[in-house]
Amino acid sequence: MTRVQLIEINAHGSDVAVFFDGNLIITADPSAGDDIESVYTTAENIAATIGEGVDIVEYAPSEDWEWDEIESELKDAKMIFTSNISPLLVAGTGRLVNIFDLQPKDFDVPMIARALSRIGRFFSQTTKFYSVAEHCLIMEGLLTDPVEKRWALAHELFEAYSHDIPSPVKSSPQMAPFRRAEELCLQRAADHFGLPRVMPTNVKALDKSLMISEAFSYMPATEYDWREISDPVPGLILGDPMSMEEAEEAFLARWYELFDFDEEEKVA
């Protein structure tokens, strides 16, 4: 059973956290100036989305308790995992990145090309390996407007850090923090690479149509009609996909061409 819990922890001030099925969604520390009402609103919104109420659990330990003791108490109750550790990952550059708070310095183009060329579309369930990088290249080649072409090449940039998450999973209520992370990533990438923050409508529409064309070519589907989502790209015929190496090289070359990187930027 899904549970939304609003947990109040009162010790050395007051910490409040919302947990969704045991997973931390948001925390606030009023003593540090955080907006406690936002936590309550988050709990109510999650509960309304799934049609369930909010369980309020209060902990009021004595003033001389330390946080690790409170944390241990909550872990024993299976209500908390860890609330104070950032979700850091090691990128191909060797640097640590937080995919929920990606910074401009994290947008390393060769690393992005390498990752996207090795990540399969449709969570790698295709009859032939077909990379996210090639998907972006095909989209870019179907457009003529310079801004739309650059956005088409960059629109899956977040997947270089998060992998390919199927749309039905990504759109679920549980994935709201993930969707916000993707939106933040694309906004910061747009600023960094000189793109408008709002992705062009044509790019979004083509992304959906191309997905249908790809599904007809590479996805076995005996119990699902892909046309329920959209129509395929008219007249588009997809052949044998590129290898990982071919997709990486082509993506990187096309990126440098479209975004006008000079030789110093490529080395950097």
Higher-pLDDT residue of 29 and 150 is 150
Domain positions in the chain are 4-76, 88-267
Q: Mean per-residue pLDDT for 195-217?
A: 95
Helix, strand, or coil here: 59? strand
Residue owning tokens 């004595």? 62
pLDDT digits (tens, 9 = 90+) for 50-80: 666 666 555 554 455 555 655 555 554 444 3
Q: 135 falls in which pLDDT band (50, 70, 90)? A: very high
Give the model's pLDDT for residue 229.
87
Q: How many other CB atoms are found less than 10 A from the CB of residue 124?
A: 12
Rounded CA-CA distance 116/124 in Å is: 12
Q: Identify the band that residue 268 occupies on the pLDDT scale cut at 50, 70 and 90.
A: very low
Segment 127-146 shows an average pLDDT of 97
Kindly give, in sequence order, each residue whose CB lies less than 8 Å from that of residue 83, ignoring residues fewer than 6 positions away: 17, 24, 27, 71
pLDDT band at 1 (very low <50, low <70, confident <90, very high): very low
Q: What pLDDT digit, counting tens, does each position of 142-170 carry? A: 999 999 999 999 999 999 998 888 888 88
**Fold matches, 4-76 and 88-267:** no
**Alpha helix locations (H) across the chain?**
36-50, 67-76, 109-118, 132-141, 146-154, 159-162, 167-170, 176-193, 201-218, 244-258, 263-267
Question: pLDDT value at position 85?
Answer: 40
**What is the rounded distance in angstroms from the CA atom of residue 162 to the CA atom of residue 123?**
12
Task: Give the class (CATH, top level) of 4-76.
Answer: alpha beta
Look at 96 and 264; give whichever has higher pLDDT: 96
Total-model pTM? 0.66
Query: CATH assignment of 88-267, given 1.10.3210.10, 2.60.120.430, 3.30.930.10, 3.40.30.10?
Result: 1.10.3210.10
Owner of token pair 């993506």: 251
- The predicted-structure confidence for 233-262, as pLDDT tens digits, reads as follows 999 999 999 999 999 999 999 999 999 865
pLDDT more than 70, % of the chain: 66
Q: Output the pLDDT for position 249.
A: 98
